[in-house]
Structure formats: structure tokens, C-alpha cells
Amino acid sequence: MYGNTFFQVASYCRSTLCNIILKRNAGHSKWSNIKHTKGANDLQKSLLFNRFNRQIKLAIRDQNDPNPETNLKLASVIEMAKKNSMPKDTILNALKKHSNSKAESVWFEVKGPRGTILLIHGLSENPRLFKQNLNTLVRKSNLAYCDSGAKHLFIHKGIIIVKPPTDLINADEECIEHAINAGAEEVETESDDLEPGHYKFICEPNNMNKVRKNLEKFNYDIVQAEEEHVALKKVSLSETEYEYIVKFINNVRGIPDTIEVYDNIA
């Protein structure tokens, strides 16, 4: 029934033709266990809480509003943090710390082997110091900055990772139907950054909160919901190249004001 890579279902939704694609990868990368600090490493509570802390900081900065009652993006982050057992005091401290922040959003583009592009997002009250720290890592890693314009090689999307309800008879087909009804654009399964049995719903960033709420109505367990910059085209690296780039990415994430590092690695 399924193709080797994906199958596509077209259906009318609210009088509009919606194309939902379920993507299937042919197995997992043998290096998926070392790719970035996601996957198993993210299960460590300290890393997970640091991630939520960064998302709280970004949500306040993006909306210029530290009040979760009026800042829906912030409310969504806090809800996910609580769901993942982030202590209330830790959340309150993050809100207090970032409420009056004058941090500036900064972006840097770094190129690596075989056309690798790393899109680095920082949020810092001292952008010059942030770049100095990044310069040191780039130099020590023998990498280089892109000339300009690499950001257009990525597209801004909302990413929602879920566990489907256990009572689904045909999970793939029903996930597609739910994606259409929830307002998602695409569904992925069996990709390297997903745990077995999980699905990834992709949507426009501005619709992410609505899509998440709709999926919850269908009894999906929301594992992760955040905005990402997704590469339009990906490149493959050797195992050695993977390890080298992963080390650099992890070091960049170690800079306190780093929000995230996005890449175009397959």
C-alpha cells in the first residue's frame, strides 16, 4: 500500500484541498544516537529544563510580553514544561529572570563539510560577547562563517511530536485524517529524530498552538511542541564528519545565550 518513501492523501478540509504527506524513512541512521543533543540525551532532566528555560526566554522576547495569560506562545511553553515535571519554582525563576531582559536576537550561519549549514540563533544582552565566544569555537573547529543568505535555505515551521492514542486501528491513516482536521500540513514517522511509535506533525508556526490543542482533543499525548527552522535540502556526512559537527554543535549549545542550532544534515 505504501511507497518506499511516502504516500500522499488529498482530502477536502473546510472547502480547501489539503495535501497531507506521511513521510517514511528507510530505517534509522546508524549515527542517529549521536546526532546533536536530541534523542536520548534530551531525556536527561537538566538538559530538558535548560531547553524549556531557553524557550521561555524566546517566547517572552518574541511577544514582548512576560504574562502567560496574554502570551499564548509563553503559555504553551510553560504547559509543556509542567507536563515534563519542570519544578514550579524553576519555571517562576525563569519568568522572573527573563521578564525584564533587554536581550537582542542574533543569527549566525556557519558552513561545514559537504555543504553543511548550521543556523545558530542566540538571544543575548551582550551580542558582542556572544559572537566572541562563537568565533572562538568556529576557529578552533576549523569551520567558517557563510558569506550571507544561508538562512533562506531553511523554512520556519511549527513541529509537534506526539504519541498517538493506543486505540487507533490504522495509526498511519488515522494520523493523516487527524492532521487534516487539526490544521497540520505534514506528518512524519520513523525518522531519525523520533522515538519508535511517535509521529511528527508539521504546521505553520502561527498555527502551532491551535494544532496542538486540536491533537489533544484527538487524545494524542504531546511530547514536544516548538518552532524550528527546517532545511529545505539536506546533505549526508560520513561518520567521522558527523561526530566532528556534533561536537561543535554541542559546544555552541553550551554558550549560555544560545537558543538553538539548526542544521541541514540528513
For residue 5, being part of any structural domain is answered with: no
Question: Domain limits at 78?
Answer: 40-99
Q: Do residue 180 and residue 224 come from a single domain?
A: yes
Q: DSSP code of 164?
A: P
Q: Do residue 139 and residue 164 come from a single domain?
A: no
Q: Do residue 57 and residue 163 come from a single domain?
A: no
Angle subtended at Cα 227 by Cα 8 and Cα 186, rounded to the nearest 5 degrees = 5
Residue 22 has a pLDDT of 64
Q: Do residue 161 and residue 224 come from a single domain?
A: yes
Residue 66 sits in a domain whose CATH number is: 1.10.10
Residue 114 sits in a domain whose CATH number is: 3.30.70.980
Decide: 65 and 56 in contact? Cβ < 8 Å: no
Q: Do residue 83 and residue 148 come from a single domain?
A: no
- Boundary residue ending a domain (77, 99, 121): 99
Residue 182 has a pLDDT of 97
| Cα of 264 vs its chain's centroid, Å | 13
Q: Do residue 70 and residue 112 come from a single domain?
A: no
| Cα of 193 vs its chain's centroid, Å | 10
For residue 65, being part of any structural domain is answered with: yes
How would you write the pLDDT of the chain (266 residues) with one tens digit per residue? 333 333 333 333 433 334 565 665 543 343 444 445 454 455 467 888 988 999 999 999 999 999 999 999 999 999 999 998 999 999 999 999 999 888 999 999 999 999 999 999 999 999 999 999 999 999 999 999 998 889 999 999 999 999 999 999 999 999 999 999 999 999 998 777 788 899 999 999 999 999 999 999 999 999 999 999 999 999 999 999 999 999 999 999 999 899 999 999 99
- What's the domain count of the chain? 3
**What cell does 24 get?**
517514511
For residue 12, being part of any structural domain is answered with: no
**What cell does 233 get?**
535540502
Decide: 94 and 57 in contact? Cβ < 8 Å: yes
Decide: 263 and 229 in contact? Cβ < 8 Å: no
| Residues 72, 63: Cα–Cα separation, whole Å | 9
Residue 193 has a pLDDT of 75
| Cα of 58 vs its chain's centroid, Å | 13
Residue 13 has a pLDDT of 43
For residue 29, being part of any structural domain is answered with: no
